[in-house]
Structure 1
Amino acid sequence: PYRPSKVRGVASDYVDRVGSYRIAFARKTFLLVHQYMQQCCLQSASSFYDPVAMLTVSSVVFYAARALRRLPKDVSFAAKSLYYGLGLVGVCSSLFHVLLSYHAQMADDTSMIVATSIVLQRAMTYQKTPTFTNWFSGLLLLAVITETTYHVMMDEHTVHELSFVFLIVMVAVKTRYLIKARVQRPEDKNMLQKSVIFGAGCFIFGYLLWQLDFIFCTRLTAIKRVLGIPWGFLLELHRWWHILTAVGAHTFMIMVDVLTRDRVELLEGDFTLFGGKNMMVGTKAD
C-alpha cells in the first residue's frame, strides 16, 4: 500500500545523501584548488632568489629608512609609524621569499594588513577628538587581530584579500577628502589627485596580476622556461604584485603623511612624477 510518510522518509534520506556527497566534493575541490594556489605561490616566490628580485624587495626597506631620515626631528610617533609599516612589509616579504615557510608567508600577508591599517588610522583620526581616535584605533586593532587570527588558523585567503582591498579603498577615499580639505591651489590638488589615481592603479593592476599568476601558473611557468633569462622575468607576475604594491603603498604613505601635518609641505622630489616640486600650504591643524 501507498505510504506517504515512508516515501517522504526515503526521499529525505536520498536528499541528505546527495547533499553530503556535494559537500564532500566541494571540500575536496576547495582543498585541491588551495593546494594548487599554494604550489604556484611557492614556485613564483622561489624566483626571488635572483639578485634583481631581492634588490626590489630590499628597496622597500631602503625607502622606508630614507623617509624616516627626512622627517622632522620633532615629528610624532604616529607619523613615523607610517614608514615603520612600510619597512615591516619589506622585511616580512624578504623573509618569506627566502624561507618559503608557512609562518613566513603568514607574516608576509599580515604585514600588508598592518601597514595599510596604520595608514588608514592616521588618515581617519586626523583632527579628530581623542575619544574618536581611541575608539577607532581600538576597533581597527580588534579587526586586524580578528582577521589575522582567522587567516593564520584557517589558512583562508578570500577574507584576507577582501580585507586588504577594503582597506585600500578606504585609504583612497579618505586621501581624496584630505586633498580637498587641506590643499588650496588647483594645480596642487590636480597633482595629488593624479597621485591617488596612480597609487590606486598600482594596487588594482598588481592585484590583477597576482590573480592571473594563480590562474595561469602552469602555463606561465612553461613559457618562462622557454624564454629563459632575462625575458622570463617579465612573466613573474607574483614579483610584479610585490613591486606594484610597494609603489602604491609608498605613494599613499607620502600623501597621508604630508596631508596630516600642521603645515602641508611637499618635499622636493616626492611628487616629481606628477609635475610638482613646489611647497604646498594648507590650513593649519587644530
Structure 2
Amino acid sequence: MEFFIPKMQVPYREARSGLWGNPTSTLNWCEEDYNITFYCAELVNTLTNLVFMYLGFKGLRNVFKYGHSKIFILAFLGYIVVGIGSMAFHSTLKYEMQLADELPMIYTVCIMAYATFSYNRPLKTQILIATGLVGLAAFITIYYLHAKDPVFHQVAYGLLTLSTIVRGFYVMYYKLKPALCKRNPVQGELILKQMWQLATSGIAMFLTGFFLWNLDNIFCKHITTTKQHLQLPWSVVLEGHGWWHILTGAGAYHLILWRLWSNKCLDGGEEEFVLDWVPMRTVPQVLVREIESQAIAAQQQIGLVRAHLASKQREMRLAQLTRSELSSLPPDTPVYEGVGKMCVFTLQSGTSICNLLLTLSLRFVGLPAPELQDKLGTQIKDIETETEALGKRLHYLETTAKNSQEHIEKMLKGGQA
C-alpha cells in the first residue's frame, strides 16, 4: 500500500476562483473552496447529498407502491428537497442557496412532527397541530431571515427533531406495545425490538455525523494540512461535513421509516406488512408480505416444471432408444411411423335398418429408415432444447424459493437480535 498510494495521488487545484464567484453565505465549511473543480465550490460536500436523492426516491416509490399514509409523501418530498437545497448551497456557497438548504430542514421535521403528534387524533386536534406547526415554521423562517444566525437554526432544528423522537418513543411504549402484545405477544415483542433497533440506528447515525462535523470544524486547520499531504482521492475521507450528509441522510431515513412502521402497526397492519431490514446490512423498507407469497408461488411452480421436465426426459429417452434400434437395421428395412388415429365410418344395410358403425384405429405410414432416423434426430434436438430451457427455469425457481426463504430468515433473525 505504501507504494500504491503515491502513484494514485492527484494534487488539488492551485487556483481558488470558481464559476459562482465569491461566497455570500453566512457559513463556510472546512472543504476548501473550488479546490477540485472550477464549477463547484465544495465538490465532496455537494456529491455526498446524493444519499438524499437515492433514499428519498426509494422511500417515495414504496409509499406509492404499498399505499402508505400520504403524509409520508410530503415527508420524503421534503427529505429530497433538503438534499437538493444542500447540493445547491455547497456547489455555490451563495446565501440564497444556503436558505434553500436550511429552511427545508425545518419544514421537513415539522411534517414528521405532524405525522407523530397528530396520529389518531380528532380532526379538530389535527387541524390545531397543523396550524401550530405552520405558525412555528413561519416564525423560525422570519426570525432566521432577520437574524441570519446559523446557531438559531441549528438549535431550532435540534429541538424539533428531539421532541419528535421523544414523542415517537412515548407512542411506541405506551400505545403501540400494549396493542401489539394484546394481538400477538410473540410477534409484538419481535416488532418492538425491530423498532427499537431502527430508531436507535437512526439516532446513532445522527450523533455520529454531528460528532464528525464538529471535529471537522474544530480541527479544520490540521485536517486541511493532512488532506493536502494525502491529496486526492484519499483526502476525501477526511471531509467531515460530507460524512455529516451521509450519516444524517441515512439516519433521517431510518427515523422516517420508524414512524411509518409505527403507524402501520398502530393501524393493525403488522399482519399485512413487514419491515424488510437486516440491521447494518440493508436499507430498511416497509413492504407488503410478498416475499412469503413469492416463496409459495415458486414452490408450486417447481413441482409443475419438474413434472414437465421428467416427461420430456422420458420422451427423449424413447426417441433415443428408437433411433438406436433403427441404426442396427439394414437401410432397406420397411419401417412405419405412427401418424395418429383414424375414424372409419361403415354403413351396413339390412332389410329395414341401416347401421352406422364407427371404428377407431391407429394409422401408420411407411418411411425409409434413414428418413425416420433424421426425423428422430431433429426431434431429439428439439427435446434437448426444451429440456435445457426447463432446466434453467427450474434453477431460477429453486433459487427464488431459496433466496426468499433466506430473506425471511434474515428478517426474523434481525428482529430477534
1:227 pairs with one of 230, 233, 242? 230
* Per-residue deviation, 1:118: 1.0
Distance 2:145 2:104 in 1: 13
Matching of residues 1-286 of structure 1 within 5 Å: 38-40=27-29, 43=32, 54-71=46-63, 72=65, 74-180=67-173, 181-183=175-177, 184=180, 185-261=188-264, 262-265=267-270, 266-267=273-274, 269-270=276-277, 272-273=279-280, 277=411
Q: Say if 1:80 and 1:240 are closer, same or farther in 2 by CA, change over 3 A.
A: same
* Per-residue deviation, 1:103: 0.8
Aligned residues: 244
* Per-residue deviation, 1:119: 0.9
Distance 1:116 1:191 in 2: 23
Distance 1:177 1:74 in 2: 26
Q: Say if 1:251 and 1:103 are closer, same or farther in 2 by CA, change over 3 A.
A: same
Deviations 1:72-110 (A, max 9, x none): 465443231121111111111111122221110111011
TM-score (norm 1): 0.75
**What is the aligned-residue identity percentage?**
23
Q: Secondary structure at the match of 2:210?
A: helix
Which contiguous aligned blocks of 4+ residues in structure 1 show a shift greater than 6 angstroms?
A: 44-48
Q: Higher helix share goes to which structure?
A: 1
Q: Would the aligned equivalents of 1:116 and 1:168 in 2 still touch at CA under 8 Å?
A: yes
Deviations 1:166-222 (A, max 9, x none): 122112212222322225221221221122111111112222222222222222212
* Per-residue deviation, 1:127: 0.5
Q: Secondary structure at the match of 2:121?
A: coil
Q: Would the aligned equivalents of 2:86 and 2:101 in 1 still touch at CA under 8 Å?
A: yes
Q: Which amino acid aligns with 2:169?
A: R
Q: Secondary structure at the match of 1:40?
A: coil
TM-score (norm 2): 0.53
Deviations 1:137-176 (A, max 9, x none): 1111111111122222221022211111112211221222
Q: Say if 1:122 and 1:197 are closer, same or farther in 2 by CA, change over 3 A.
A: same
Q: Say if 1:270 and 1:155 are closer, same or farther in 2 by CA, change over 3 A.
A: same
Q: Which amino acid aligns with 2:53?
A: V
Q: Which residues of structure 2 form unaligned runs of 5+?
A: 1-23, 181-187, 282-408, 413-417
* Per-residue deviation, 1:52: 6.7
Q: Secondary structure at the match of 1:209?
A: helix
Q: Which residues of structure 1 form unaligned runs of 5+?
A: 1-34, 279-286
Query: For the pair shown, which has the larger CA radius of gyration, 1 or 2?
Result: 2
Distance 1:45 1:114 in 2: 30
* Per-residue deviation, 1:37: 7.7
Distance 1:105 1:127 in 2: 36
Q: Higher strand share goes to which structure?
A: 2
Q: Say if 1:147 and 1:218 are closer, same or farther in 2 by CA, change over 3 A.
A: same
Q: Secondary structure at the match of 1:43?
A: coil
Q: Would the aligned equivalents of 2:144 and 2:152 in 1 still touch at CA under 8 Å?
A: yes
Distance 1:137 1:45 in 2: 42
Q: Would the aligned equivalents of 1:61 and 1:90 in 2 still touch at CA under 8 Å?
A: yes
Distance 1:199 1:45 in 2: 32
RMSD across aligned positions (CA): 2.9
Once structures 1 and 2 are overlaid, which stretch shifts more, 256-265 or 225-234? 256-265
Q: Which amino acid aligns with 2:135?
A: L
Distance 2:32 2:92 in 1: 13
Q: Would the aligned equivalents of 2:75 and 2:112 in 1 still touch at CA under 8 Å?
A: yes
Distance 1:194 1:218 in 2: 37
Distance 1:170 1:276 in 2: 33
* Per-residue deviation, 1:57: 1.5
